[in-house]
Amino acid sequence: MMGRSLLGELTRNKWRKK
């Protein structure tokens, strides 16, 4: 669960940066 949250946040941040 913790890994999923971190992965989701990282992916969302990358998308938002674009």
For 1-18, the pLDDT digits (tens) are 667 788 888 888 887 776
The first and second tokens of residue 16, run together, are 């938002």
CA geometry: angle 7, 9, 11, nearest 5 deg: 70
d(CA 7, CA 13): 10
CA geometry: angle 9, 15, 18, nearest 5 deg: 140
